Structure 1
Amino acid sequence: MGAFTPVDTLEGDARFDAYVAKPDGDASAAIIVIQEIFGVNEGIRRKCEGWAKAGYVAYAPDLFWRIEPHIELDPDVPDEMDQALALMPKFNQDQGIRDLEATIKAARAAVGGGKVGLVGYCLGGRLAFMAACRTDGDAFVGYYGVGIDGLLDEQHAIGKPTMLHIPTADHFVSPDAQKAMHAGLEGNAHVTLYDYEGLDHGFATEMGQRRDEDAAVLADGRTADFFAEHLA
């Protein structure tokens, strides 16, 4: 089982917690799991444990710590979904990317200077794309990232392998937004897009009502193969 561990901010003026899971043996690479709007909840921690079993050191930084540390919400509880949606206007995404940079630094040190991949979901999917544009991570995966169509003017800065999983019936990402993502990224040799026909937002969650087992297994297999190739 993993545990929460403090990470220094880039400025060195504060610390925030990250859930860290480690494999039984030595690891040569790390994976950062980027939370949804529900915080570093049990589902995100389970993803870290899964990566640790696969041989990686896994970090899940608490990106909402400036709002309130250790927020954990359940998307299947309507009141908690409302709470999560209310957090979004309070969250500074640019600062969140800096916290991801700090986590990359910590994770890279934990694996002796090895490679670091990032994988995010929902808000984390958006942040994974932003991180591909703005950080020195080594590989990036975003699941059902929201608002990526509004970030396409940054995609020229992507220099490392990036993968996006796009459910076509995502009620947070319109068909027009999906079309813009495909059109805007099809010429970028670093980016791979996968569509999941008829599926909705959250299909790859570890637990709860949103999960679609077959699609989650397919997408997660693609992600595992992607990291195995690019973090070696």
Structure 2
Amino acid sequence: MSEWIKLKANDGHELSAYVARPHGEAIGVLVLVQEIFGVNAHIRSVADGYAKDGFLVVAPAIFDRFEPGVQLAYQPDDMKRAYTFYGMLKPETTLLDVAAAYEWASKAGKKIGVIGYCYGGLTSWLVATRGEKYKMHPSCCIGYYAGGIGSVAKENPSCPVMLHFGANDSHIGQDQVEAVRSAHPEVEIFVYEGAGHAFNRDIDPNSFHTASAKLARERSLGFLKKHLA
């Protein structure tokens, strides 16, 4: 079962969020942070998938600060709009919106994990390293192809973290991956041969890499069950 809800951040901003509910009691709760395309069909399908696996999932619409209801496709015109919105994003306000979702999630009385994709992957890392300032204390965080993570690699995560990268990612150099690996050997980092950026994006044939997406999801699911069950 899924629905849209309203959240309010600590600065008074109201935003929407997509909620996917499991059948029966939840194993744990996931805050799912979008790519730079909004809480679109792909992100909702990811949320629905984890709900089927037994998690309560909430995905805050972080673009609502600029334009409510933004849902972009992976086509040239929408790509241009996505990068326009991306240029407006600031970690401080994004974390406020994620914290609003986290506060909602905490009412379920379960352990909470954060998972994000692309910009959301970077945000998930920042929740792990900066979350306490925003009253977020996740039990674990997962980041898929977290662009820009190299610049914040030396920040210290407060919980277990798993990161997934494509070996052929043209947006994220291997130097960024190695920066995290060097600073934090305890972080579980996986690099997938043959995969590029956004390899989990199954509705985008230009990005999707079937084998890598399947293996990364299996690893993520095991990680989440280990830390949230």
TM over 0.5: yes
- Equivalent pair of 2:192/2:212 in contact (CA under 8 Å): yes
1:229 aligns with 2:226: yes
More off after superposition, 211-220 vs 21-30? 21-30
Q: In the alignment, which residue of structure 2 is the partner of 1:119? A: 115
1:213 to 202, 210, 216: 210
For the residues of structure 1 that align with 2:176 and 2:226, how far apart are their CA atoms?
29
For the residues of structure 2 that align with 1:128 and 1:181, how far apart are their CA atoms?
14
What does 1:124-139 correspond to in 2, within 5 Å? 124-135=120-131, 136-139=137-140
Residues 38-78 of structure 1 show CA distances to partners (whole Å, capped at 9, x for unaligned) of 00000000011111111111111001111111111112x11
1:6 aligns with 2:3: no
Q: In the alignment, which residue of structure 2 is the partner of 1:168? A: 167
For the residues of structure 2 that align with 1:138 and 1:177, how far apart are their CA atoms?
24
**Structure 1 runs (4+) greater than 6 angstroms displaced:** none
- Equivalent pair of 1:166/1:194 in contact (CA under 8 Å): yes
Figure out how many residues of one structure are paired with residues of the other and give that number. 223
Q: Say what the alpha-carbon RMSD is for the aligned residues.
A: 1.3
Q: In the alignment, which residue of structure 2 is the partner of 1:104? A: 102
Q: In the alignment, which residue of structure 2 is the partner of 1:148? A: 149
- Equivalent pair of 1:46/1:206 in contact (CA under 8 Å): no
Residues 170-195 of structure 1 show CA distances to partners (whole Å, capped at 9, x for unaligned) of 11112322332322222xx3x11011
Specify whether residues 99 and 64 from structure 1 end up closer, same or farther in structure 2 by C-alpha distance, changes over 3 A only: same
**Unpaired segments ≥5 residues, structure 1:** none
What does 1:173-192 correspond to in 2, within 5 Å? 173-186=172-185, 189=186, 191-192=187-188
1:16 aligns with 2:15: yes
Shift of 1:28: 4.4
What does 1:35-50 correspond to in 2, within 5 Å? 35-50=34-49
For the residues of structure 2 that align with 1:25 and 1:132, how far apart are their CA atoms?
29
TM-score, with structure 1 as normaliser: 0.92
